[in-house]
Amino acid sequence: MDLTVRLHDLARSRGAVASGVATVAPFIEVRATMAERIEDGSRGGLGFTYRDPETATNVRSSFPWARSLLAVATSYLPQAGTPDRRPGHGRIARFATRDHYGPLRLILEEIVSVLRLEGFKAVALQDDNRLVDRAVAVRSGVGWWGLSSMVLTPGAGPWTLLGAVATDALLKTSTPMERSCGTCRACFPACPTGAIVGPGKLDARKCISYVLQAPGIIPRELRPAIDDRIYGCDDCLTSCPPGSRLLERSTSASGSVDLLDFLTLSDDTILARYSHFYVPGRRARYLRRNALVAIGNWASERSVGALAGYVGHSDWLLRLHASWALGRVGGSAIPVIEKAKCQERNPRVIDELDLAYRFARSAACEEPNLR
């Protein structure tokens, strides 16, 4: 049997929802888009592929022998279910409820093995900074570029993870899909922060998925929209009609974390339990920070004890987000804020405590919101 057909069959038999072959010609338009986003600031502090767009858009700069790219898409629905939302719980986006990249990785590795047995060079690339996965998927007909910037695949919509195998085998190229979002615009109003700023254009600085995995302070104006999320965001995916049939079948409860329990875990436990998350510098403080914001949005007096502990934490970043959360709780949190104000020395945390105090007082007196 023809090698290309064999590889497609292999991918499908192992559970891929789509596969296709693309040429290795550089992705010139993608490189230009990345340059624009670096220039206009909309990539925010994104690293990954943006660290070296030249390399990420030309697979031959990393693998000069490559002659074909075999793209594969797997879906993590219905297995990933639907987040179980309960008061006091944080939400994890579906792609990260566990390591859903595992099945894709196995398929790519099996394809690599077959190619090597046939005497070819081959390497698996998935979420790798040396390749823009969506560009390969679109060129190889695995899906089309949606206005949310997700690649949409018939049957699975945006609920896919993408990867590719670069090989020196000359495989038969597939035809790109001639599809578009048509008149649909559902993802624009669905995005809680207005991060989709144009067709296929995301302003990473506003995207919750990015903000929750970026280092530093979470911008104050974005915190309410983060709601109960602690990792990832699915709103532009859940609103997307081509994915709705699969979503309806994803009924098992998943992705829920008891926030107060979470705050009591050690750094080692957090990092081990969520080892498949991207966490800057592998520092648990960033996941604790996210949980503190979700607790602030929960705004329950049940969290005051835990937050009082966190305003005395040795890490100023956690004191700062705990201060904000106390302000949102108000009521019995007000004396905790007052006490912390007397003890705090870090100017950024003092600022946050001042605002939290005013917010909590104004809420108590039903004055206009000082958020």
Residue with tokens 């004890």: 305
Residue 74 binds ligand B12, judged by CB under 6 A: no
Please identify, using beta-carbon distances, which residue of 218 and 308 lies nearer to ligand SF4. 218
Q: How far apart are the first and last CA of the chain?
A: 65
Residue pair 301/360 in contact (Cβ under 8 Å)? The answer is: no
* 234 lies in the binding site for ligand B12 (CB under 6 A): yes
209 near ligand B12, rule: CB under 6 A: yes
* Residue closest to ligand SF4, measured at CB: 146
Q: How far is the CB of 106 from ligand B12 (least distance, A)?
A: 14
Binding site for ligand SF4 (CB under 6 A): 146-148, 150, 181, 184-187, 191-193, 195-196, 202, 207-209, 233, 235-236, 239-242
Report, in Å, the least distance between residue 158 CB and ligand SF4.
7
**Residue closer to ligand SF4, measured from CB, 21 or 208:** 208
Take residue 113 and report the two structure tokens written for it.
């093995």
Indicate the residue type of 276: H
Return the one option of ligand SF4, ligand B12, none that residue 42 interacts with (CB less than 5 to 8 A, by type). Answer: none
- Distance of closest approach, residue 320 Cβ to ligand SF4, in angstroms: 22
Among 140, 149, 193, 297, which residue sits at the site for ligand B12 (rule: CB under 6 A)? Answer: 149
For residues 46 and 202, which CB has a smaller minimum distance to ligand SF4 in the complex?
202
Least distance to ligand SF4 from the beta carbon of 154, Å? Answer: 12
Spatial distance between the Cα atoms of 311 and 324, rounded to a whole number of angstroms: 10
Q: Helix crossing, 3-13 with 101-117: angle to 10°?
A: 150
Residue 239 binding: pick among ligand SF4, ligand B12, none (C-beta 5-8 Å cut-off by kind) = ligand SF4
Is residue 200 a contact residue for ligand B12 (CB under 6 A)? yes
One of 201, 313, 341, 371 touching ligand B12 (CB under 6 A): 201
Q: Rounded to the nearest whole angstrom, what is the least distance from the CB of residue 147 to ligand B12 in the complex?
A: 5
